[in-house]
Amino acid sequence: MLALALTSCSSPVVSVEESDTEVRLTATIDRVGPMGSEDDCADSARVELRRPLGERVVIDQSSGERRDVAAPD
């Protein structure tokens, strides 16, 4: 399972595509903060993976960028 922190003022929906080498995440956000600011709100979402993340990389599908993953406390 992955826990995500997102800048939104709604309940984000996150879809996941998994391969042997990467996990690609897409977050659908209904609205950002007041006046379009992403700094005013924060939400979280959890994504259930088919198998443990292991050595796979996490990719933000909208930007194509690799995202860092922190181990749970």
Q: What ranges do the domains of the chain cover? A: 2-64
pLDDT of residue 49: 94
Q: What percentage of the chain reaches a pLDDT higher than 90?
A: 45
Looking at per-residue pLDDT, the higher value among 9 and 44 belongs to: 44
37-60 confidence digits (pLDDT tens): 555 677 888 899 999 999 999 999
pLDDT of residue 37: 55
- Predicted TM-score (pTM) of this structure: 0.77
| Strand partners of residue 63 | none
φ/ψ region of 39 (left if φ > 0, alpha if ψ in -120 to 50, else beta) reads alpha
Amino acid letter, residue 20: D
